[in-house]
Structure 1
């Protein structure tokens, strides 16, 4: 995947995505996945989703 996003931008998007998905799970379900493995899964999924969405939006503009 060739993108113009820098490493720092991907790191920031990853952290924000992890926080947002964790927050959404607390709102919707009332809890997040337990333990550090569950938190790691939620963080990775949130990071991937936010990076994917940002790349989709940037591609269309």
Structure 2
């Protein structure tokens, strides 16, 4: 952000989505369904934003 280069921001958003997906799977195995669903929704939203920003 200091250099005003937002070139890799979309890729970081997609990586954040993968991280949230893994955390959601871990929570699902711990039988914490509510937090697992929330993490999965955040992962989907993060992927949507990342892919959307790549196409603009």
- TM-score when normalising by structure 2: 0.50
- TM-score when normalising by structure 1: 0.46
